[in-house]
Amino acid sequence: MEWTLADIRDKVRKYTGFLSAQQISDDFINDAINDFYVNEFPLLVNSTSLSTWHAFNTSPGVGEYPLEVTILNTISPIYVADYPVWFTRDRDLFFANYPLNEPAQQGKPFAAFLDDDRTLYLRPVPDAEYNVRILVVKKPTALVNDTDKPLDPAWGRAVAVGAAIHLLLEEGDKDAANELSDLLGALLGQINCKATLFSVSKEAIRSF
């Protein structure tokens, strides 16, 4: 199966029992599909298809940088001027070392903290323009047309199951949602296993 948006929607209808548009419209199901595919699915899989390098340049005297809303997660290390810096998501730990209520020193950053609101703090505060590179997980593009496909067609069934679980929970059918949860877990396991094997094979090729 190619797993287009239309294919995924049809599978969601079968999983939920909402077989007609009179019960739930196609648009409503499409919204559930995209909510899971764009916002949740990327955090459940280890896929190089969803990771990319995000880069920007610092400005002298500016220590905080908001990241794009399309970025869901960051993967350490973070590079400043091509050198890895200490990176944490522990707010207390970071600001114990770099208190907010004290004047921040300026220089080449060697420490970074990402807040929950996607603000990246760099310390020391940059004293010049430095290139920053971060490996990030970005939201995939929503499926709009019936012929649109996920980045990897093999994800289609897992996306259908995830969307079906959401719809069933909204309808209050926890038993049916729980039954599908086991299937979703198995499908995600297959996807992550495939991603791990692909990553290992790439490393083997590089070292050959």
Confidence bin at 170 (pLDDT 50/70/90): very high
pLDDT tens profile 49-64: 788 899 999 999 999 9
Distance (Å, whole) CA 106 – CA 100: 14
The reported pLDDT for the residue numbered 194 is 61
* Higher local confidence (pLDDT), 205 or 6: 6
Which pTM value belongs to this model? 0.74
Asked if residues 77 and 87 have their Cβ atoms less than 8 Å apart, the reply is yes
